[in-house]
């Protein structure tokens, strides 16, 4: 897969030099509040994770998120398409904007829109979904802006920071994506 470009971001293959930033982000409680991670991760853990990427299905390898920064690009997070089901033509998406200085600036929405376009227009998927903690209001708003529809709730399905939270299921169908493209 080649680099996927948006207006302000690009999605590229993850490189070994990205690991240092990933380790910082996945050990920051503010960043991981909305992620399924709950234990510290070492540089060695991330190195082993990176070494395992070569064996993954090429469609399910994570992508680094970079934003335009002057004449270059700056790493701000990562994202992935996973749980691909070629029979049902569906997949799950995940995202982490680890660089807190760029939170609330629309980068997550742009990334999710790019991933949806890739999934539906390149991979020919019919349904793209994600799971988000109910208390992660900022992420839920971002996903709605990208076109996701809330379709269900798994009550008290996660335990983080000393309390249970619901997990909201959201999805976009190819027909909904096509209708949005015609409107916009």
pTM: 0.94
Q: Give 10-53 pLDDT, tens digit per residue.
A: 999 999 999 999 999 999 999 999 888 888 999 999 999 999 99
Q: What is the mean pLDDT of residues 77-106?
A: 97
Both structure tokens of 77: 């997070």
CATH level 3 topology of 4-183 = Aminopeptidase (3.40.630)
Give pLDDT, residue 38. 82
Q: What is the mean pLDDT of residues 159-181?
A: 95
25-31 contacts, C-beta under 8 A, 24 or more apart = 25/77, 25/96, 25/98, 25/99, 26/96, 26/98, 28/98, 28/100, 30/100, 31/96, 31/98, 31/100
Are the CB atoms for 6 and 110 separated by under 8 Å? yes
């Amino acid at each position: 897969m080649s680099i996927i470009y948006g207006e302000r971001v690009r999605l590229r293959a993850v490189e070994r030099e990205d690991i240092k930033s990933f380790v910082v982000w996945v050990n920051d409680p503010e960043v991981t509040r909305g992620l399924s991670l709950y234990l510290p991760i070492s540089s060695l853990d991330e190195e082993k994770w990176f070494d395992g990427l070569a064996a993954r299905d090429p469609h399910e390898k994570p992508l680094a998120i970079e934003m335009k920064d002057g004449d270059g690009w700056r790493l701000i997070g990562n994202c992935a398409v996973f749980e691909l089901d070629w029979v049902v033509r569906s997949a799950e998406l995940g995202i982490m904007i680890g660089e807190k200085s760029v939170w609330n600036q629309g980068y997550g929405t742009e990334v999710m829109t790019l991933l949806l376009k890739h999934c539906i227009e390149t991979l020919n998927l019919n349904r793209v979904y994600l799971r988000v903690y109910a208390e992660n209001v900022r992420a839920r708003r971002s996903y709605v802006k990208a076109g996701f529809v809330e379709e269900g709730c798994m009550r008290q399905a996660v335990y983080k920071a000393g309390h249970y939270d619901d997990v909201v299921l959201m999805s976009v169908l190819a027909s909904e994506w096509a209708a949005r493209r015609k409107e916009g």
